[in-house]
Structures are given as structure tokens and as C-alpha cells.
Structure 1
Amino acid sequence: MDKPPFGVLIANLGTPEAPTAKAVRSYLREFLSDRRVVDVPRVLWWLILNLVILVIRPPRVAKAYAKVWGPEGSPLMTISRAQQRALAAALKEEYGQDIPVSLAMTYGKPTMEEAGRELRKAGAERLIILPLYPQNSSSTTAAVHDRYSNAMAPCPHVPAARWITDYHVHPGYIGALANSVREYWAEHGEGDRLMMSFHGIPQRYEDRGDPYPSQCRATAAALASELGLNDEQWICSFQSRFGREEWVKPYTDHTLEDWGKAGVGRVDVISPAFAADCLETLEELDMENRETFIEAGGKDYHYIPCLNDRPDHIGMMVSLVKENADGWS
């Protein structure tokens, strides 16, 4: 069998294996133990995590997962597998031969080790690594890098690797986002304001140099420009706060509450930080924040889905691979 010129490793955050307190506890333990995610001193954090968070949060989070869990399992996993299949098919059409594509999750399964074995079995000796995070953050993209490095540590032959660290203003990405918004508006009409809600991080992360918030703002501005919106028609906000410290602002839920009280009739919400719909979009944005807006006096709330396995999203991934595979094909 001829070896492929390279393989592609796509990576995302991860998901519990079931919408149960036990499965969620196992997942949260691994996720929240990562220093990239929580940088509190280890002894103090061990006590908080094991004696408080992992006791209180799993049942509540499991109930949230149960609201969005599908017949094939977690929406993030289902969509990620669809993206994996679609990207492999698109790359085969582009290159005229099989380009192996493997999926790894930073936390949970499939593990980085499992994805690596899959790519080695396919004969890939060069890798293009694509974390499915449009914006680069120490808590996401860097965590993938750490996980990959740990997985490769015992390997006698480490493959050549090229990393795609972000694509926050890539023309294909902004174009696909704009297409999704226009298509939604064509079917459902256009709201009074477009909220672009990104997952938040603590403000001190940005203060010490994390590029994520500035890249989120650049994504939002580029999308607004592509859609021809004026400054009064859109906002970039941040969701999913955890703990009591200050996070990057403005906060999504507070903004929606203010808009509802101010009499904004309809708001459309999109989340360009996520490559696939997941708990934070389907439950937090589409359910919890809808309730926040309506209860505050808002009239109509529309959630625009993530790009998921849309053809233009997969086409953008192909472009990223081609741009980074120079000399390998």
C-alpha cells in the first residue's frame, strides 16, 4: 500500500461518554485538572475540585447534557465524527488519493494516543494538526499542543508536524459564517441585533498575553463587515463564566438581560468560537440565555447554529490543509 503524503489530525475539547453524573464527574476531573484550564495553585485547587466542584456540579451538568443528548450520543461527538468523515472525503477528491483524517479529544475519548495509532496504521509519517478552535487560546489550542506532546513522548519515531494555531479571520471561515447568517435570515427574517457570543476566559489571562479575546473581537468585526452591519447592529460578547473572578467583558447573559429590559424586540445569536454545536451552544445559548432575554422583556430570540459539517465549513478546512501541506503533496 502506498503511503499517504501526510495525515490530518483534527482535535476538539471532548465530552462525557454519557449524560450521567458519574460520566460527567470523570470528564470534569480530567478537564479541570489541566493547568491550562485552571491555573490556581495545585494543592488549593485539588481541595476545591475534589471536595466541592466534583461533588456539586456533576448532577447539575448531567441534567444539562441530557437536554441536548441525541440518539447517537453527545452532539459534539456526533458532529465531530461527521466533520472527520466529510473532511476525509473532500481531501480524497482534492488530492485524488486517501488522506487519513483522525479525530482526537483533548479530554475523554478518542484520545490523542488512539488517533496517533490510527494515523500510523494508515502510514502517515507527516501530520497537519488542526485544533478546531478558530481563535487561539492557552486554555484550548495550547492544551491540544500539550496533550499531543505528552502522547508523542514515548514514541521512538515522532512524525513531522505542522500546526494550524488559529484561523480567526481566514476568508473561508468568515465567508462560511456569513453564509450561515444570510441563509438563516433568508428563512427566518433578520433580527434587530446580532450577538456574536464567544466562550469567555478570565480577564487576567488576557492581561498576561493570551491572544484569544483580541482574536474573538477581530472575528466579530470581520463578520460584521462581511454582513454590512453598522456598529449599532452587532456586539461581541463572552459567555460561560465560572467562579467569582472577573472574566473578559461584555458578558453575554448580562447584555441579553439589558437588551430585554431596554425593549429590544428580536436578537439573533451566533457563536463563532465553536466549530461544532455542543453543550455551551445548545443548552447555554439556545436555552438558558433565551430564557434570560425573554424574562427580561425581550420578544424574540433566534440561535443560529454553528458551522458544524456545512460544505463551506469543510471547504475551509480543506483550504487550511492545502495551505499548510506545501511540499508534502
Structure 2
Amino acid sequence: MAQAPFGVLLANLGTPDEPTPAAVRRYLGEFLWDRRVIDVSRPVWWFILNAFVLRTRPKRVAEAYASVWEAEGSPLLAIGRRQQRALKAHLDAQYGCDIPVELGMTYGKPTMESAGLAFRRAGVNRILVLPLYPQFSRTTTAAVFDRLADALKPCPDIPELHFIRDYHDDSAYIAALAESVREHWATRGRQNHLLISWHGIPKRYADEGDPYPKHCKATSEALARALELEPDQWTMTFQSRFGREEWLQPYTDETLKNWDVKATPGIDVICPGFAADCLETLEEIQEENRGYFMEAGGEDYSYVPALNDRESHIEMLAGLVERNTRNWC
């Protein structure tokens, strides 16, 4: 095959190495120390993190990870590897040459450094950075940017980079989401309402200019239009809040605990912000929040899986690659 004109770095959040308190403690220590995630005064946050958070959360979080762990590792890593292989196969066929595709995590392994080393060994000097976050946030996409910059600091010669900021309103992304919902309805039956749940961020971040909630709203509205849903047939909420600070509302768990189950006894739930199923979807949404809904008297609760490595998702990602590398080919 001809020399690759570029490589693709698929970036995602990260995962513990194993579902144990020690591994989770290492992972959370790295993740929660990032200023992009928690921007509290460093001395204050160091004390809270080490005296309380890392002493109390790892055991509970490790048990949650153990409940969803796969033979290949955490779901995020296992699916990420499948996405990596599928995208590479698609791009190799599309371009007629070996297109290196590497997976790099902001926290944990595989690291950005390991991805960079693989690119260097392949002779690649142009890299398209594709964070698997459709909606931009300082806590996710910007953290990828920071982590990659740190990884490149020791390099005497850095590659040419192109960074995809977001794709929250990409037509192929919306179409893939809508297709996944329709297929879910066809196989599992359609419920009375679609709940669109997003990972939350502190409200203060949005007040300071983070466009994330606007991107979430735009994606939600586009998906509702694609599915021809009326305004009273879908709801947008935010999950996974942490700490005592106010986060984006309405909260997913509180919404489900107070759901009018007499009017709407069954719901479907989708989390479009997650490109791969992970702890927040498989344990928090599919298990914990399902429990809240059923305890409130709900009759049927069905989770629509993330796009993962389904064909329409891989084709959409390949389309993003093609449009953002035209000057390199």
C-alpha cells in the first residue's frame, strides 16, 4: 500500500485498568485533578480530593464498574477498540492505503503518548484529532486538547494537527441517532415518551461561556425533528452530577423519581452525548435510573444503546475524517 497521507487519533475520556478500588482510585485521582473538570482552588481541592473523595468513592465506583466489565476491559475501552478497528477498515478501503487509526484516552490507558509513538513508527506527520464528544465542553473536548499538548511537549518535532471541535449538528450524526432509535422501536416496541439524557456540567461553567448546553439542546431538537416527535413526546435532562454545586437542570434522576407515570407509564431513554456505552449509560442510566422510574410506578423503561460501532456511526465518523482532511490528500 502507498504511504498514509495522515493518521487519525480517536480520543475519549478514559477508564480504570481494572474494576478494583486501587485502580479506580488512580483513575479518579488523575481525572478529578484536571482543572478542566474541577476548577476549584488547588489547595482546597487537593484536601477535599485526597481526604474525602478518594477515600470514599473508589470502592463504590469499582463495584459499579465490576457490574458492567467485559472480557476486553471496561465497556468504553472494549467498544473504543472496536470503533478503532472498524474505522480503520473503512478508511483503508476508502483511501486505498494503510490509514493509521489510534485510540488515546485523556485519562488512563491507552495514553496519548502511546498513540503518538504508533504514529511516529508509521511515518505519519499529519494527524486528525477526533474527540468522540459530539458536543463541545471545556470538561471533555478542551481536556483532550490540553492532554495532547502535554503529550507533545517532549517532542523535538511535532506533527501537523487538525482538531475536530464538535459535530453536534452534523446531519449524518443526527441521522445515525434517529436510525438507532427507530431500530430500537422496531425490536423492543415504542414507549410513550423519549427521554434524552446528557452528562451534566456545573451550571457555572455554562454561565462562564461553555457552549455545551446549547449544543445539547440543538442536538435534542434535531433528533426530535428527525423522529417527528411533538414537543410533549420528548424531554431533555442532565445526569451524573457531582458535589454540592448546582449543575445543569433538569436532573435526570430527579425527573424520573417524580415522573407522572399515570400519564406516561413507559419511556425510552437515549444518551446522545456518549459515542460509546460506558459506566454512565450501562450502570447509571440502564440500572440506577431505571430503578428510580420503576419505584415511581413506571411500567416499562427501555434504554437505547449508544451508537458504539454500528455501521452508520462508523460511516459518519469516516465522513468527518474525509471532510477534515481534504487538503492532505
TM-score, length-scaled by structure 2: 0.99
Contact residue 2 and residue 97 of structure 2 kept, 8 A: no
1:172 paired with 2:172, answer: yes
1:294 paired with 2:294, answer: yes
Which residue does the alignment assign to 1:228? 228
* Cα displacement (A) at 1:260: 4.7
* Cα displacement (A) at 1:242: 0.4
Which residue does the alignment assign to 2:283? 283
Which residue does the alignment assign to 1:107? 107
Which residue does the alignment assign to 2:183? 183
* Cα displacement (A) at 1:3: 2.8
Contact residue 260 and residue 293 of structure 1 kept, 8 A: no
* Cα displacement (A) at 1:222: 0.2
Q: What whole-Å deviation, never above 9, does each CA across 1:269-298 have from its counterpart, x for those lacking one?
A: 000000000000000000000000000111
Q: What whole-Å deviation, never above 9, does each CA across 1:218-276 have from its counterpart, x for those lacking one?
A: 00000000000000000111000101111101111111122155542101000000000
1:49 paired with 2:57, answer: no
Find the residue that maps to 1:169 and give its secondary structure.
Answer: coil
1:240 paired with 2:240, answer: yes
CA distance in 2, matches of 1:264, 1:57: 35
User: Residue type matched to 1:117 in 2?
Assistant: L
Contact residue 264 and residue 299 of structure 1 kept, 8 A: no
User: Residue type matched to 1:179 in 2?
Assistant: E
1:67 paired with 2:67, answer: yes
Which residue does the alignment assign to 1:129? 129
The structure 1 segments of at least 4 consecutive aligned residues displaced by more than 4 Å after TM superposition are: 260-263
Find the residue that maps to 1:198 and give its secondary structure.
Answer: strand
Contact residue 265 and residue 300 of structure 2 kept, 8 A: yes
Find the residue that maps to 2:194 and give its secondary structure.
Answer: strand
Find the residue that maps to 1:13 and give its secondary structure.
Answer: strand
1:272 paired with 2:299, answer: no
CA distance in 1, matches of 2:261, 2:302: 17
Which residue does the alignment assign to 1:324? 324
CA RMSD in angstroms comes to: 0.9
* Cα displacement (A) at 1:154: 1.2
1:313 paired with 2:313, answer: yes
CA distance in 2, matches of 1:327, 1:261: 54
Q: What whole-Å deviation, never above 9, does each CA across 1:287-319 have from its counterpart, x for those lacking one?
A: 000000000111110001000000000000000
User: Residue type matched to 1:325 in 2?
Assistant: T
Q: What whole-Å deviation, never above 9, does each CA across 1:157-206 have from its counterpart, x for those lacking one?
A: 11111111100010110000000000000111111110110000000000
70-79 or 23-32: bigger deviation: 70-79
User: Residue type matched to 2:36 in 1?
Assistant: R
Contact residue 4 and residue 99 of structure 1 kept, 8 A: yes
Contact residue 3 and residue 98 of structure 2 kept, 8 A: no
Counterparts of residues 250-261 of structure 1 (less than 5 Å): 250-260=250-260
Find the residue that maps to 2:327 and give its secondary structure.
Answer: coil
Which residue does the alignment assign to 1:162? 162
CA distance in 2, matches of 1:263, 1:236: 18
Which residue does the alignment assign to 2:98? 98
Which residue does the alignment assign to 1:4? 4
CA distance in 2, matches of 1:44, 1:7: 41
TM-score, length-scaled by structure 1: 0.99
CA distance in 2, matches of 1:212, 1:92: 33
1:194 paired with 2:194, answer: yes
Q: What whole-Å deviation, never above 9, does each CA across 1:58-117 have from its counterpart, x for those lacking one?
A: 000001001100122111000000000000000011111111000000000011000000
Which residue does the alignment assign to 2:40? 40
CA distance in 1, matches of 2:151, 2:2: 26
CA distance in 2, matches of 1:18, 1:188: 32
Contact residue 267 and residue 302 of structure 1 kept, 8 A: yes
Q: What whole-Å deviation, never above 9, does each CA across 1:25-65 have from its counterpart, x for those lacking one?
A: 00000000100000000000000000000000000000100
CA distance in 2, matches of 1:77, 1:240: 20
Give unpaired runs (5+ residues) of structure 1. none
User: Residue type matched to 2:255 in 1?
Assistant: T
CA distance in 2, matches of 1:187, 1:132: 27
CA distance in 2, matches of 1:305, 1:280: 12
User: Residue type matched to 2:187 in 1?
Assistant: E
User: Residue type matched to 1:62 in 2?
Assistant: A
CA shift in 2, pair 1:26/1:10, >3 Å: same
The count of aligned residue pairs is: 329
221-230 or 69-78: bigger deviation: 69-78
Find the residue that maps to 1:232 and give its secondary structure.
Answer: helix
What's the % identity of the aligned pairs?
A: 59
CA distance in 2, matches of 1:260, 1:33: 39
Contact residue 263 and residue 297 of structure 1 kept, 8 A: no
Which residue does the alignment assign to 1:215? 215
Contact residue 263 and residue 298 of structure 1 kept, 8 A: no
